[in-house]
Amino acid sequence: MPVDPSTLSFGRRASYYTSNLALRGLIGALGLIPYEKRVPAMGWVMRKAAPLAGFHKRIRDNLALTCPELPEADVARLCDEVSDNIGRVVAELYAGQPFLERAWAAPISGPGLPALDRARAEGRPVILVTGHFGNYDAARANLIKRGFAMGALYRRMANPYFNDHYVQAIEKTGKPMFEQGKRGMMEMVRHLKQGGIIAIVADLHAHGGVNIDFFGEPAVTSIVPAELALKYKAAMIPVYAIRQPNGLDFEIVVQEEIAPSDPVTMTTTVCKRLEDLVRQHMGQWFWVHRRWKPYVPIPKSSPTGPKSSPD
């Protein structure tokens, strides 16, 4: 992901700068609307913009691959539901206090909650794994409010002009934040070794990962969270925030701790449990992601140094 816009071509800089202005202008305008109307309004905007942005095509392609039995009426409905949820997440991300208050008030339950409490009492490190489902930041905000101080790993946005604005927004939920990359990984590991809690969104295509079935199809998935859990004897616990029927509130579900075994088995369990949850709430997962890209192995290092990544 570009850090310095000067490294980009003039055309790419112009495109990113223009989209940054448009996004920030839209977010600023929506901020003038009361929260209870702002969130569904952004959902409506995203539903209307989704076909133009290519979201519907991506959703349809992913559903055709993984759920070919779905009737056309259900596919069309999911195109709208997924886009609506993404729009709501964007509005919530930049809403600040009104969103945090909703997240703080969310009920929390699940078989993993006692394990999380025990780990905190023992000073044992914890890796909370989540996904692009509901609003993943609601779970982080809720747990931080309950005294589970945690850091979170995030992926830099492609648009360098918008990235700083994005980071400032997610930091309002809690700090520290670790940017994906060598430096961020070092900081995150240091935090973990000190008995800290980290949150990782673990359902994206991960270059260098391994193929693990998700909805019956191989999806390249990072096994790093499981490797870290085994190395530092951390509790690995999945947690998700389920959006409620009113579209504004959440329920936080802490799934059972992943039993230590080997990284692939542990990661497979995470993927299977997320799939089961998504099947119950199909419109709440981000079907717009390129989750099923082909597996491309990372070239091995040579005596002259590592080869460039093909991704």
pLDDT given at position 310: 31
More confident residue, 193 or 15: 193
pLDDT given at position 6: 65
Burial 72-88 (b: 16+ CB within 10 A, else e): eeeeeebbbbbbbbbbb
Mean pLDDT of 60-84: 97
Side chain identity, residue 126: V
Model confidence at 298: pLDDT above 70: no
pLDDT digits (tens, 9 = 90+) for 140-169: 999 999 999 888 777 776 777 677 767 777
Model confidence at 170: pLDDT above 60: yes
Cα-trace Rg, the chain: 19
| Confidence class for position 23, pLDDT limits 50, 70, 90 | confident
> By C-alpha distance, which of 184, 216, 217 is closest to 200?
184
Burial 132-150 (b: 16+ CB within 10 A, else e): bbbbbbbbbbbbbbeebeb
Enter the tokens of residue 2.
């570009």
CA–CA separation, 51 and 48 (whole Å): 7
pLDDT given at position 162: 74
Model confidence at 279: pLDDT above 70: yes
State the helix-helix crossing angle for 55-66 and 35-53, rounded to 10 degrees. 80
Q: Is the CB of residue 115 less than 8 Å from the CB of residue 256?
A: yes
Angle at the Cα of 194 from the Cα atoms of 268 and 256, rounded to 5 degrees: 30
pLDDT given at position 31: 78
8-state DSSP, 57: H
| H helical segments located in 54-179 | 55-66, 72-93, 97-105, 113-122, 136-145, 160-171
| Confidence class for position 124, pLDDT limits 50, 70, 90 | very high
Enter the tokens of residue 64.
């055709």
pLDDT given at position 226: 97
Q: Is the CB of residue 252 less than 8 Å from the CB of residue 243?
A: no
pLDDT digits (tens, 9 = 90+) for 189-244: 888 888 899 999 999 999 889 999 999 999 999 999 999 999 999 999 999 999 99
Mean pLDDT of 240-266: 98
Model confidence at 302: pLDDT above 50: no
